[in-house]
Structure 1
Amino acid sequence: MEENIDSKEHGVTPQLFKQWRSPRFGNSNPQKIESTVWEWLVHSKLCGYLSTQKMDGPSPLDEGPTWSFDRFGQTKTQLPDGRIVYVGGEHEDHYDPDFHIYNDVIVEHPNGELDFYCYPKTDFPPTDFHTATLIGSKIVIIGSLGYPQERVQASTQLYLLDLDNFKITTIASCGESPGWIHGHEATLDTSQTSITVTKGLVEIESGSPMRENIDDWKLGIESWTWQRLTDRQWPRWELTRKDKARNHVYDIRRALWSHEVNWKEDHQEDMARLEKSMGFSVDFNLVKTLYQFDFPHESLVEDEEEYNVYWIYVDGVRVRFVEKMHCLTVTVEGSLSNQTLTSMKEQLISNLNELERSEWTINEY
């Protein structure tokens, strides 16, 4: 798609922008909508903030989120005839006034023309970080993060998009499903009779951190039956500060990085922010020893594809560490002795306590 398209080229005036600036649900399944404003926003790829600035308002603080095609967690499916089908996605983070999760379908034709389909919320809820699997003339939409109040922990969201008429219907599935999953991968088998779901995050309990999906699941397409393919009894832990405050591991790593690349001004700013937030002068070098243990193990590796993911190998078993804002999760991808596991937990707690000068706790699940 083109970028930085001027609004005048699409005939978008401030008055027209105000009429079409807001996301909307459809009145039918589907409701095809024509909007030169949305066309301009798709081609320009402007975020809500920049389009509002160009059109001189109104503010999302007064009028709600601004429609945008600049989204995370949106799926993009290439059809054999050259069309591209985009489904849902979210714009900005939850604290931003332009934050919105979409439930629309946008079709881009090879000549650049666009079709917009909107749906009643009851027929297709706001959906993001799902997967879209093309099977013939239909797309199977699996999973979603969604708004917290709309999540159903015991089930996996499933919808079917019919490309002949763009109607979306709920898939009533049975069997043991992954649960409320998002950010996963979905793979259609060669016979096109089932979809395998791997990876991703699952909400177990409202208000609690998401857990990694460590198992594999199969969805039979003819019967829409879920089947658990694995039941990995891997040791998993979640480490958090006892005071429930956010941790500073990422910020400390940032300070280490700015020091190593010799960005002096950035490093000084990083250290000043850390000292203000933590109340003491941080030894940023301690983060380099966070995953060093006194038993034999291979050197730490940083994942090049996944953000804030590190791992080591102990006796041939990969141990994976995921650093998050409010917790550190550990997954032992195999079997290790109880002595090794106990020692690892004790040393991790000790290292984190020393790094942040705050007491940490561990929860096993």
Structure 2
Amino acid sequence: MSTAPNPNSQSDETASGVALVRPSPSPPSSNGDSEEPMSLIQAALVDNYDLVVEKLETTRDLEREEYGETALSNACSLRTVSVLLAAGANIKRISHQGRRALVGLPPECSDEVLSTISPQQFLSDRCRRFGTKNPDHLNVPFWDAMIRSGVSAFEAGQYFEQKFAVKRESFFSPATWCAERHGQSIARLPDGRVIQVGGEHEDSYDPDFCIYNDVWEHHSDGSFVVYSYPEDVFPPTDNHSSTLMGTHVYIIGCQGYGEKRRYGHTPVFRLDTATFVIEEVEMTGEAPGWIYQHAAVAVSEREICVSGGKVIKSEVDEGENDVEYILDVSECRWRRKTPDL
């Protein structure tokens, strides 16, 4: 288990020892001049918590976008992220900094922690590694340092090249393991733990592009554990959903590597939050197909509603999903949601 400073012992702003630098908010206009009142999205961007609370009027405000950003995707501090999630913001829109704050890490990224890693550790541990058992608790110092630092694979490579003249052999060398990801799901447990699953770093044209199959278990004291799995037990998974149902997290959907997709099939995996064993669950009924970037919400003790997202039907056929599906986890069965009358 890797440990970090207790996030509850100090404020989000000073957890890294360096205050976050953000622009000062302009006060909302109330005197009829040309200056527009600050929106919820702008209030989140400058971390004006009181104004965020004031502006939270309807759930539609949470999904409103400005230049492709929502309030949650602009939020960086723990209290602002928490109040937006409590109000119903879609956790898929959380930023890398907001995700770090939520698990008890300093929101701002820094390569300072990489100074604890030797060039030998970097060279031996820089690549993704599949587990050999289910689960496989991997204690890899470089990975732990990357989670704490939050920097990109490129930034880590630059750090070790400049400090130790250590660099990748070629453009085609394996990707450098990285904790800065998108398409990574996050699930919060009642006991204070936070679980992050899979995700990808960079796009397919980048030498550090990689889709991961690991699970991170964060504890409220700031410590965390990294689990990996055999590829045939839990394949690299990104742009999926993670929904807590009792003591299990249901991992639904995936974008994945093109050659690994099973068109017409919807992958569903069940993660035991006590043992961290993952198993694939075979489902019957009418499933969405190879779906990703969707929303999945528990609507009862046994049912998950899956909506939105995209469905890949073949190498040349991909479209938006406009159907709501219900997954009954007790019967292991999919069905289309019956329209409300």
TM-score, normalized by the shorter chain, greater than 0.5: yes
* RMSD (Å), alpha carbons: 1.5
Shift of 1:17: 1.0
More strand by share: 1
**Residues 230 and 211 from structure 1, CA distance in 2 versus in 1: closer, same or farther, beyond 3 angstroms?**
farther
Q: What is the SS of the residue equivalent to 2:213?
A: strand
AA aligned to 1:4 is S
AA aligned to 2:190 is P
1:215–1:230 CA contact under 8 A, matched in 2: no
AA aligned to 2:229 is Y
Query: Please, which moves more after superposition, 52-61 or 161-170?
Result: 52-61
Counterpart pick for 1:14 among 104, 114, 119: 119
Structure 1 residues 52-89: Cα deviation after superposition (integer angstroms, max 9, x where no partner): 11011432625310000110100111111211100000
Aligned twin of 1:159: 269
AA aligned to 1:87 is V
Gaps of 5+ in 2: 1-104
Say whether 1:55 aligns with 2:181.
no
Counterpart pick for 2:322 among 198, 207, 214: 214
> Counterparts of 1:152 and 1:113 in 2: how far apart (Å)?
37
Counterpart pick for 1:129 among 239, 243, 246: 239
Aligned twin of 1:262: none
- How do residues 335-346 of structure 1 correspond to structure 2 at under 5 angstroms? none
Structure 1 residues 228-287: Cα deviation after superposition (integer angstroms, max 9, x where no partner): 1269xxxxxxxxxxxxxxxxxxxxxxxxxxxxxxxxxxxxxxxxxxxxxxxxxxxxxxxx
1:5–1:43 CA contact under 8 A, matched in 2: no
AA aligned to 2:260 is E
Say whether 1:72 aligns with 2:182.
yes
Bigger relative contact order, structure 1 or 2, given CA contacts below 8 A and separation 6+? 2
**Residues 222 and 8 from structure 1, CA distance in 2 versus in 1: closer, same or farther, beyond 3 angstroms?**
closer
**Residues 135 and 16 from structure 1, CA distance in 2 versus in 1: closer, same or farther, beyond 3 angstroms?**
same
> Counterparts of 1:119 and 1:196 in 2: how far apart (Å)?
27
Shift of 1:209: 4.4
Q: What is the SS of the residue equivalent to 2:242?
A: strand
Give the TM-score normalised by structure 2: 0.65
Aligned twin of 2:110: 4
Between Structure 1 and Structure 2, whose CA radius of gyration is higher?
1
- How do residues 246-285 of structure 1 correspond to structure 2 at under 5 angstroms? none
> Counterparts of 2:335 and 2:208 in 1: how far apart (Å)?
39
Say whether 1:111 aligns with 2:221.
yes
**Residues 158 and 5 from structure 1, CA distance in 2 versus in 1: closer, same or farther, beyond 3 angstroms?**
same
Structure 1 residues 173-224: Cα deviation after superposition (integer angstroms, max 9, x where no partner): 00010000000011111x3111111000001112x14200011111111111
> Counterparts of 1:218 and 1:111 in 2: how far apart (Å)?
36
> Counterparts of 1:106 and 1:139 in 2: how far apart (Å)?
13
Say whether 1:32 aligns with 2:137.
yes
Aligned twin of 1:42: 147
Q: What is the SS of the residue equivalent to 2:314?
A: coil
2:111–2:156 CA contact under 8 A, matched in 1: no
How many pairs does the alignment contain?
Answer: 228
Consecutive aligned runs of 4 or more in structure 1 exceeding 4 Å deviation: none
AA aligned to 1:120 is P
> Counterparts of 1:48 and 1:5 in 2: how far apart (Å)?
11
Structure 1 residues 31-53: Cα deviation after superposition (integer angstroms, max 9, x where no partner): 00112211110111111100011
1:130–1:183 CA contact under 8 A, matched in 2: yes
Structure 1 residues 143-188: Cα deviation after superposition (integer angstroms, max 9, x where no partner): 0000000111111010000011101001010001000000001111
> Counterparts of 1:8 and 1:22 in 2: how far apart (Å)?
16
- How do residues 75-90 of structure 1 correspond to structure 2 at under 5 angstroms? 75-90=185-200
> Counterparts of 1:63 and 1:15 in 2: how far apart (Å)?
17
**Residues 187 and 8 from structure 1, CA distance in 2 versus in 1: closer, same or farther, beyond 3 angstroms?**
closer
Aligned twin of 2:128: 23
- How do residues 135-146 of structure 1 correspond to structure 2 at under 5 angstroms? 135-146=245-256
Gaps of 5+ in 1: 232-365
Aligned twin of 2:335: 227
1:174–1:224 CA contact under 8 A, matched in 2: yes
Identity %: 36
Shift of 1:5: 4.8
